[in-house]
Amino acid sequence: MGKTKSEIIEILVPVDDPDLPINIDALNFEGDACSLATAEFEKALGKVESKKLKPEFRKKKVKAQRNIKLGN
Amino acid sequence: MSHYTEVKSAFNSEHTDEMVSALKELWPEATVLVSEEGTAKCRGWPGQQPRNCHVVVRFRNPNIEKQGNYDIGFVKRADGSYSMISDWYACTYPEATNDQGRTGSNAVEGMIKPLYTKNLMKKTLKKNKRLRGFKDISKRNDIVTKKDKNGKNVRYARLRYQRS
């Protein structure tokens, strides 16, 4: 069995247009663990404008990725 | 004629400390005034009255109140957010110019926002048990470019957090 990859949260902050949303990506999480982790970041950053759940999110016990865009 | 313009921003008064830290980190040579009462003066074009603000960044001659120095101010709004105020047309110091040579409120907010967000994340990681073990692995000035839905290039500052 392969080694589990590190969980990574990546935040992209637009630098030229403040009206664009901030993006949050959660990488290498299992199941809905990413929701729990990113929820705290979302709370701090502002309201969620849209959420894109990557296909892996719907599978049980698999590596999941999640992408969230936050408005101002 | 030059004049003050007030614009809304993504900064929130719940996170004033994080905003002030970001301002000090971005502009270590500047003087940052903080006034709970909102009476810090944001200076601008001579002949106009300075504006009262809760936070003011002074780039030049911080100890004199004379107009003709161009500051950037932050005013708390009723909804808790900060608006940014300056004589944006005249506030064109090199410090207030971004890496693309742009000045004005969008450029300045874009310079502050990655540092503000990083400070917010630091606070969030510290406060939250669920996030225990995450380390900030962001690189300094890590800018990535992505295409938006119209094919236009959009630049982002990238912050990364890792838990093994």
Question: Quick one: pLDDT at residue B41?
Answer: 97
pLDDT at position A57: 55
- pLDDT score of B50: 96
In sequence order, the 6+-apart residues with CB closer than 8 A to the CB of B76 are: B13, B38, B54, B82
pLDDT at A53 over 50: yes
Q: How far apart are CA B143 and CA A12, in angstroms?
A: 9
Q: What is the mean pLDDT of each run of 10 residues along chain B (164 residues)?
A: 88 96 98 98 95 98 95 97 96 96 96 96 90 92 92 95 91
Q: What is the mean pLDDT of residues A37-64?
A: 63
Q: How far is B131 from chain A (nearest CA, A)?
A: 6
Q: Does A5 contact chain B (CB < 8 Å)?
A: no
Lookup result for tokens 């810090």: B40
Highest mean pLDDT among A26-30, A32-36, B65-69: B65-69
Evaluate if residue A61 carries a pLDDT over 60: no
pLDDT value at residue B72: 98
Q: What is the mean pLDDT of residues A63-70?
A: 60
pLDDT for A62: 44
How far off is chain B from A41, nearest CA to CA, in Å? Answer: 7
Residue B130 confidence (pLDDT): 83
Report chain B residues touching chain A, CB-CB < 8 A: 8-10, 12, 15, 98, 100, 102, 106-107, 109-111, 113-114, 117, 120-121, 123-124, 128, 130-131, 134, 143-144, 146, 148, 154-164
Does residue A54 have a pLDDT over 60?
no
Contacts of A15 in chain B (CB under 8 A): 98, 110-111, 113-114, 143, 155-157
Name which of A9, A17, A23 is nearest B161 (Cβ-Cβ).
A9
pLDDT at B104: 96
Residues of B in Cβ contact (< 8 Å) with A7:
134, 162-163
Nearest residue of A to residue B161, measured between CA atoms? A9
* Interchain proximity B156–A40, CB inside 8 Å: no
Helix, strand, coil percentages in chain A from 3-state DSSP, rounded to 5: 25, 45, 35
Task: Nearest by CB to A12, from B10, B158, B163: name it.
Answer: B158
Determine, for residues B106 and A11 on separate chains, whether the beta-carbon distance falls below 8 Å.
no
* Comparison of pLDDT for A23 and B158, the residue scoring more: B158
pLDDT attached to residue A63:
47
